[in-house]
Amino acid sequence: MKAASTTPQKGPAPPPPDSSWVDEVLLAGAGPDICLDFGEPVRRDELRRMVRERQDALAAAGLRRGGSAALCLAPSPALVANLLAGWRIGAQVALLDHRLTPFETERALGRLETEVVVSAPPVPAGPPRGFYDQRESVRARPGRPARTSHALVQLSSGSTGPSKIIGRHAADLIDELGRYARIDGVPRAGERIVSMASMVHVLGLVGGLLHSLHAGVRLAFPPRTTGEGILATVAAGPEPTTLLGVPFHIELLTWVKEPPRLPQLTGMTTGGELVRAQVHDAFTGRYGVRLGSMYGMTEVGVIATDLFGEHRPAVDPAPGITVRESGGELLIATQHSPYLRSDDPSRWSDGWLRTRDGGTVDPDTGLVRVLGRLDSQVSVGGLKVDLTEVEHTLAELPQVAAAVVVFGTSIEAYAVLREPGPGGAARIEAALAERLAAYKRPRLLHIVDQLPRTATGKLVRDPAVLRATDRTPHRPSVQEQAHREGNHRDVH
């Protein structure tokens, strides 16, 4: 498939969502079929009953067709039922991650101005879980009806800055489900997905929940999202099973010392960030199954995939998706701007969405090579440095558990050590000196206990957030020390 170079035609915005799509696309199917598994199976007829009950509760709180609601719920049957109920009413539904602080939640609600909020008490402290028992409550708030015809509103992950408010029409979601149906390697009816991906973000929502309901795939959530807990959920069912998660979950699975024999495990699909070669090889070597990658955005959903690892590190555009490269940036053809409000109108123009991702499109095959965020390309002393390369090199050191590399006035690195102790930073710098040219190496190295992540598990690369995480004085690296002593030649 070659990338098109023509400008897509813009059309009128779709009308307000018709509630019939929920029944026809998501809830149709045989009554006794098991569609969800939150530790206990949920049959399709039971899900329809739950949705009707929540629809009555939302309507009693004043939610009407064309209204607006926000869900602040953890992964749970309650989240699924309230989402489908809101759509069945014909309302616009916004999803907020339950891990946001009360301050962040109220700030988001202030931006969204929804009329109805569905929330539940905070989840109990303890090991992370794949789902929770939520007892939701509904309250009306001073808000506004939906001002656009979008069915779904989401906030971007905010890994590199403030979140954007993104809207998607019901027709967009249905089109994306059609793309999933045409992608080879996506689970089909009679199969199972074990998902660790957040249901309030696009991979877990569309690639997990909506696709499973639409295609007749059984969707299961692990009670515990440890490596052992994920594998126990795989072992609990006989169906051919695909794991769905982000690179963080892959690393959890590679840390399992003696995984059980799992003949039903067919592979894993990951999205979010680029998977380091070391992590990819460790997973496939340990489990002997495919590790596929999926490239997508909250704004448009799935864009390109390589579910069998045939094109690694390239991906193949999903059916119906047009990708082109302009000035080293990937652009996606979309008829409408996905942003409800935007401080940067250049993100979408004349039918093209700027991804802010660097990449290339092969003119012969159409394969897309994603090179990482454009803001990871920096100039040091007139020399180009890819921060993604530096970060991957640092993270692949055996003594490093996790790492982030950013650029302020110089290249800075934040690292978590596998075995903290004296001399760890010096050993890291010595190892980097063997692997990276001097101008690429971090001028500042911060050793921290943990790195901040977004709600979807992505590492945060906002320098201000990272600086707040670092409780120790900034330690000058070997390079900076040499610079201070007048011996520095390669970094400016």
Q: Check which CATH number belongs to the domain holding 79 and give it.
A: 3.40.50.12780
CATH number at residue 399: 3.30.300.30
Provide the domain count of the chain: 2
The answer to whether residue 40 sits within a structural domain is yes
| Nearest-angstrom CA–CA distance, 139 and 69 | 10
- Residue 378's identity, in one-letter code, is V
- If asked whether residues 360 and 477 sit together in one domain, one would say no
The answer to whether residue 215 sits within a structural domain is yes
Bridge partners (DSSP) of residue 42 are: 36
State residue 435's pLDDT score.
87
**Domain finish residue from 372, 392, 422:** 372
Provide the residue range defining the domain that includes 388: 381-484
3-state secondary structure the chain: CCCCCCCCCCCCCCCCCCCHHHHHHHCCCCCCCEEEECCCEEEHHHHHHHHHHHHHHHHHCCCCCCCEEEEECCCCHHHHHHHHHHHHHCCEEEECCCCCCHHHHHHHHHHHCCCEEEECCCCCCCCCCCCCCCCCEEEECCCCCCCCCCCEEEECCCCCCCCCEEEECHHHHHHHHHHHHCCCCCCCCCCEEEECCCCCCHHHHHHHHHHHHHHCCEEECCCCCCHHHHHHHHHCCCCCEEEEECHHHHHHHHCCCCCCCCCCEEEEEECCCCCCHHHHHHHHHHHCCEEEEEEEECCCEEEEEECCCCCCCEEEECCCCCEEEECCEEEEECCCCCEEECCCHHHEECCEEEEEEEEEECCCCCCEEEEEEHHHEEEECCEEEEHHHHHHHHHCCCCEEEEEEEECCCEEEEEEECCCCCCHHHHHHHHHHHHCCHHHCCCEEEECCCCCECCCCCECCCHHHHHHHCCCCCEECHHHHHHHCCCCCCCC
**Domain finish residue from 329, 347, 372:** 372
For tokens 């990276």, the residue is 436
State residue 491's pLDDT score.
26
**Domain finish residue from 321, 354, 372:** 372
State residue 478's pLDDT score.
42
- C-alpha closest to that of 399 among 429, 424, 430: 424
- If asked whether residues 116 and 251 sit together in one domain, one would say yes
In contact, 84 and 22? CB cutoff 8 Å: yes
The answer to whether residue 492 sits within a structural domain is no
Length of the chain: 492
Long-range contacts of 482-485 (CB under 8 A, 24+ apart): 483/443
The answer to whether residue 414 sits within a structural domain is yes
| CA 242, chain centre distance (Å) | 17
Say how many CA atoms lie within 13 Å of 430 toward its Cβ.
7
State residue 472's pLDDT score.
52
The answer to whether residue 423 sits within a structural domain is yes
- If asked whether residues 350 and 414 sit together in one domain, one would say no
Q: How does pLDDT run along the chain (492 residues), one tens digit per residue?
A: 334 333 344 445 455 556 899 999 999 976 568 999 999 999 999 999 999 999 999 999 999 999 999 999 999 999 999 999 999 999 999 999 888 888 888 989 999 999 999 999 999 888 889 999 999 999 999 999 999 999 999 987 654 456 789 999 999 999 999 999 999 999 999 999 999 999 998 999 999 999 999 999 999 999 999 999 999 999 999 999 999 998 889 989 999 999 999 999 999 999 877 788 888 999 999 999 999 999 999 999 999 999 998 998 899 999 999 999 999 999 999 998 999 976 677 889 999 999 988 899 999 999 999 987 777 777 776 677 888 889 888 998 999 998 999 987 789 999 999 888 788 889 999 999 988 888 889 999 999 999 988 766 778 888 888 888 765 544 444 444 443 333 322 222
State residue 345's pLDDT score.
79
